[in-house]
Each structure stands twice: as structure tokens, then as C-alpha cells.
A and B are shown apart, each in its own frame.
Chain A
Amino acid sequence: MTEPLLSVRNLRLDIPTGSGTLHAVRGIDFDLNRGETLCIVGESGSGKSLTSLALMGLLGKSIKRNADRMTFDGIELTTASQGQMRRLRGARMAMIFQEPMTSLNPAYTIGDQLAEALLLHRKVSRQQARDRAIELLEKVGITAAESRLSQYPHQLSGGLRQRVMIAMALMCEPELIIADEPTTALDVTIQAQILRLLHDLGREMNMAVILITHDLGVVARVADKVAVMYAGELVETGPVRDIFNAPSHPYTRGLLRCIPLPGKTDRGAKLGTIPGIVPSLVGEVEGCVFRTRCPHAVAECRGDIPKREDGNHAFRCIFPDGKRHSEKELTV
């Protein structure tokens, strides 16, 4: 098997606070190959965005990053210099943010900002950068692309701005694109379009895509792999088919019960909720982080939790099947 494009082992992110260290991300592992789409799902505050910023090397100075391994095409990101990271960012790995309204610089035209992404990394003329910008604006479905170049961000709608952000991320044809809830701030009608676009472009350009979302409906449509994140840990990872057909971690099942799935949820059935709140991550966290909200929690959940692997499908639970089978009986 070929080396994965992105390989992360035991990534930890710690934020010092007044009342102790906040262990925001605690030992996550995943691999991603070229052309694959990985969806990271989880509640707000589970560490999804921090993980993506850590990959890009864009964390705030106060956050401490540790990992046994974090490689991008063989380059160890934890030890890469500022200059090395800068040459990767925008060129080989690009990011699309959650807030299209504020992520573009209000002082420069769309054309300037698009061209900049290319000019920073490639020896091309302004005209070539401009042509590339037009090409990509058309690709992301913006009409009258040429006339948009001289417009300023405040003259565009949120959906258009996010399309511009996507075009900007694609300027250098990156191998990895990280999209952090790219549609949260947009209208529902635009959301599907943008996600479809990202997915199609990923396929077309053979890019690896990390899509951070809490919309499981989206995950079902676009993901190859899914990583379920809860309170700073990846509680379950696996191919999308396995996650939806055989959700093993109780939290994954809880999430899936919260959304209606075509063919799986009975008409008129009540949607589920997960009772309780995410525990505080300040100080040492022991045992299973989900135990305070888990319907199957037992005393042993406070101890070491084994990682259970079956091919590419992995989850962490004290029960060999994550109590999947007993729960099925309960709900049916």
C-alpha cells in the first residue's frame, strides 16, 4: 500500500488556562489518501476546528501542539520550520473557513486576493494569475467571472464569497484541502451546492479533502471515511459504509439517531437526543470521555479503554461491540 498523503498519530493540543490545562484534543490518529474525502463530525467544541488549524500550523501561540507523528507527503509537520510551513500553506494544503463574510480582506478586490494566492507560490505573471482566477471562478460556478475580479468582498453575497474562498484555496491545485464547516453560515439552498462542488472538485483534481461538519446528511453523501470526534477524541473512525451501517460507539449511534436518514428512520418516529453536556476537559481526563452521557456506562468505563479495530473501522469502547447489538434489540 502506498504511503498515505496525511498521517496523524497521537495528536494532542493543550491550552493553558487560568484554572489548569485544557486538553482540547487528546491523542487522535487518522490517515488520509489522495483523492479521499474524510469527514470529521462532532458537536461544537469537540476540537474539530482546532485539529484542522493544527494541521495547517495556524494555531494561536498559546496552544501547545504535540504529536508522535503528523506527516504530509512524508514531511513531518511538527518539526517543519515557519518557512517550510509557509511554502506548504496555500500551495500544497489549503483551507476554507467557516465564515465567508469575514474571511476576505475588505480592502482588496476579489481579483487581487485570488491572484495573491498564486503569486505567493508560483513564478507567474499578473496576467497569468488573473487568467487562472477567472478559470477557477468559472469552475466554482460564478457567472460573469471576469467582471467579478474588480469587485470587493462587500459587494458579494455570502454564497458567492464562499465560492471565492473555494476558488482561492484551489489556485495552486493543492493536494489537501481542509474545509471547516464551509456552509454553516450559508442558506440551506446554497449549502448543498457548495458541498457538492467541493466533493466534485476533490474527485476531479484528485485532492484529499477533510470536511469538518456536524451535518450527517452531508457526510452520508460525500464522505469516503468518517471520523467521529467527541470531547477531543476520535471515538470512532472508519469507512462511511461501516459508520452508517454498523455504528459501534454509543456516541456515534446517538448522533445518528438525531437525524432522519432516508430508508432508516421510520416515518413519524421521534428523533433522538443525547442527554447531558460535554464534560470539562480541564485537568486530566481518565477513562471514556463519553461515559457521563452513555446509556451503557459501567464502572469499568473509568479505566483504560481498549481501541477495537476491524480492518479500517476502529472505535474505543469497553464493550467489544460497543453494545451495538443489545441497543438494536432495545430500539426495535
Chain B
Amino acid sequence: MLQFILKRLGLAILVAFTVSFISFSLLFLSGDPAAALAGETASGEDVEALRRLYGFDRPMLVQYGDWLFSALQGDFGESYYFRLPVASLIADRLSVTMILGVCGITFALLTAVPLGVVAAIRPNSIIDRIALFISVAGQAMPSFWFGLILIVVFAIQLGWLPPSGTATWRHFILPTIVLGYYAMPAIMRLTRAGMLDVLSSDYIRTARAKGANETRVMFRHALRNAIIPVVSLAAVQMGFMLGGSIVVESIFALHGAGYLAWESIARNDLPTVQALILIFSMFYIVFTFLADVLNAWLDPRMRTS
């Protein structure tokens, strides 16, 4: 197990460096950053001056090394637009996104997994149909529309919850539901499919033949095996959610990292965009790594591969 973890960790670090290099170079491929920064009316000399000021005249590998070295120390440079250190700018916004992301995925898992299990225990029952309806609706409904409906109903008509902002925990309830509902259908359907598959397997029959009761059969024998693909999916979705949802953050005026990313791209704020891409990629890598470890713990067959 330890060997497996170390192996996966090594792999994750390798992937992290590769991703950082690709994301760094992609931004250079999108055009001359100095020209973009200087604006349309700038003279050739101004562009040249900017190029030297920001060091764009150096070879790309040198710039990458320089950037990476600072980034590893937590220094992502200064935002061109906000004129603030990128690190503190992101840290500020990231906390909002992280709260939202963690709440969103928790909400999704807490609703999707039990619903998927119940649907699998009684396939084609009324509960299964309701679960299917909920998941189809979640899949089909655009987040911005669902978010607006929630605001209209719960914030404006009923006045139970605030429509926007981040002041209290109550402000996070509606965005959590919207973001969680977006991730829920896939998790639910995968849980249901996994449970159905496992419940028809021979070792479930063995468990029953031993005299295990249904609760034990479902949770100890079936769910542990059925949840394995769900862990991988949830990890990817968690990575996605921590990357910030531009749509959800915009509707509820949560100024999180997703919103910041959108702003920075629009304003060509290179250091901020680079830092965000790096951080979002790291989330994916970390969660994929954690999912691998969790899966290896759940399924001993994965430890050897």
C-alpha cells in the first residue's frame, strides 16, 4: 500500500510539472503578451519597453524557470490589472470558491449516493422513477436558469434566504444547491448502475448464504465495491468545482476564483491567469491522487497494478 502511494505521488508530481509547463507556454502561444499589454495605440518603442520591463525578451525556458521558482515559493508576481500580488489576490477569492466547492460536492454526494442506492435496491420502483426524474432534470437544466429560479422563489417570493453575496453561511445555501445539483445526476446514475451490477454478483449471494442481513449485504458487501467508480468521478467533479463555477459565482455575486479567472482572461492579466491555471490543475491532480489512494484502500486489486 505504501509503495502504491509513493508511486502515485511521484506520478502526480510529474504530471504537475508537465501541466505547469504546458499552461505556461499556452499563454505565450496565444500572442505577443507585450503587444497585448501595451494596447492598440502604443508605439513600437512602448511595446519594446514593456517587453523588457516584464522580461518577455528572455528565452521562454528561462522565463518558465524563473516563474516556476517563484511560484514554488508562493510568489506568482503582480497582477497587471489589480496591481496587487497575485498570491494574495487569489487567496482572497479562493476561500469563497473552496467553501462553495466543498459544500457543493458534499451536497451532491449526500443526495446522490443514498438516492442511487435506494434506486438500485428497488429498480423500476416509484423511488427509482423519481430519482431518474430528478437526475434528468438536473442534467437538462442550465445552472443559470435553475439559480435564477431559486433566487426568485426563495429569496424574492419567500424571502427566506439572501439572493447574493457572501456575508453569512446562509448566503451559501442557494449556490451550494445549484452547484451540487449540477454534479448530482452523474454521481447518482453511476451509484445506481454500480449497485445494480454488484448486487447481481456471486459474492452478494455468498453473503446472503452466510446469513448476513440485508443492511449488511447492502452496505458492507455491495456499496464498498459499487462506490469505486463513483470515487473517481467525484474527484474530477471536486476538481472542477474548486476551479470555480463562473456561472454560479456570477449569478449569486460570489466573487470567487472562477469569477476572477474570467475577469483576468478578459483583461489579459497574464500572471493571474497563469497562477489560476496552475492552482486549478493542482486541485485536479491532488483530488485524482486522493481518489486513487481511496480506491486502492477500497479495492485491494488496485494496489498491485
Chain B interface bracket (under 10, 10 to 19, 20 to 34, 35 or more): 10 to 19
Residues from chain B with a CB closer than 8 A to the CB of A97 are 202, 205-206, 209
Hey, what's the 0/1 contact readout for A153-190 against B, CB within 8 Å counting as 1? Answer: 01000000000010010000000000000000000000
A193 within 8 A of B: no
Residues from chain B with a CB closer than 8 A to the CB of A90 are 209-212
Partner of A107, one of B208, B210, B224: B224
A58-B205, A97-B205, A102-B201 given as contacts; is B211 within 8 A of A107 (CB)?
no
**Within the assembled complex, what's the spacing in Å between the Cα atoms of A117 and B225?**
19
Among A58, A89, A91, A103, max chain B CB count under 10 A is at: A103
Nearest Cβ in chain B — how far from A200, in angstroms?
22
Establish whether residues B211 and A103, one from each chain, have CB atoms under 8 Å apart when the complex forms.
Answer: no
Interface size on A, residues (CB 8 A): 27
Question: B208 — nearest CB in chain A belongs to which residue?
Answer: A58
A95 within 8 A of B: yes
Residues from chain A with a CB closer than 8 A to the CB of B206 are 97, 103-105, 165, 168
Establish whether residues A87 and B211, one from each chain, have CB atoms under 8 Å apart when the complex forms.
Answer: yes
Establish whether residues B298 and A120, one from each chain, have CB atoms under 8 Å apart when the complex forms.
Answer: no
Establish whether residues A120 and B202, one from each chain, have CB atoms under 8 Å apart when the complex forms.
Answer: no
Hey, what's the 0/1 contact readout for B209-230 against A, CB within 8 Å counting as 1? Answer: 1111100000001001100000
Question: B225 — nearest CB in chain A belongs to which residue?
Answer: A107
Question: B228 — nearest CB in chain A belongs to which residue?
Answer: A107
Establish whether residues A106 and B299, one from each chain, have CB atoms under 8 Å apart when the complex forms.
Answer: yes
Nearest Cβ in chain A — how far from B246, in angstroms?
39
Question: A171 — nearest CB in chain B belongs to which residue?
Answer: B210
A121 within 8 A of B: yes
Establish whether residues B300 and A58, one from each chain, have CB atoms under 8 Å apart when the complex forms.
Answer: no
Establish whether residues A105 and B203, one from each chain, have CB atoms under 8 Å apart when the complex forms.
Answer: yes
Nearest Cβ in chain B — how far from A278, in angstroms?
25
Partner of B207, one of A91, A105, A154, A165: A105
Establish whether residues B205 and A154, one from each chain, have CB atoms under 8 Å apart when the complex forms.
Answer: no
Residues from chain B with a CB closer than 8 A to the CB of A86 are 211-213
Nearest Cβ in chain B — how far from A65, in angstroms?
16
Question: B200 — nearest CB in chain A belongs to which residue?
Answer: A60
Among B201, B221, B300, max chain A CB count under 10 A is at: B300
Nearest Cβ in chain A — how far from B4, in angstroms?
14
A87-B211, A88-B211, A116-B210 given as contacts; is B205 within 8 A of A103 (CB)?
yes
**Within the assembled complex, what's the spacing in Å between the Cα atoms of A91 and B210?**
7
**Within the assembled complex, what's the spacing in Å between the Cα atoms of A237 and B148?**
74
Residues from chain A with a CB closer than 8 A to the CB of B210 are 89-90, 94, 116-117, 120, 168
Nearest Cβ in chain B — how far from A310, in angstroms?
36
Nearest Cβ in chain A — how far from B73, in angstroms?
43
**Within the assembled complex, what's the spacing in Å between the Cα atoms of A109 and B300?**
9
15 residue pairs bridging A and B, Cβ less than 8 Å apart: A88-B211, A95-B209, A97-B205, A99-B202, A102-B201, A102-B202, A103-B205, A103-B206, A104-B203, A104-B206, A105-B206, A105-B221, A107-B298, A109-B300, A154-B301
Given contacts A103-B202, A106-B299, 13 further A-B contacts (CB under 8 A): A58-B208, A86-B212, A87-B211, A91-B211, A102-B201, A102-B203, A103-B203, A104-B206, A106-B300, A106-B301, A120-B212, A152-B301, A154-B301
Closest 3 CB pairs of A and B: A90-B211, A90-B210, A102-B202
Q: List residues of chain A with CB under 8 Å of any chain B CB.
A: 56, 58, 86-91, 94-95, 97, 99, 102-107, 109, 116-117, 120-121, 152, 154, 165, 168
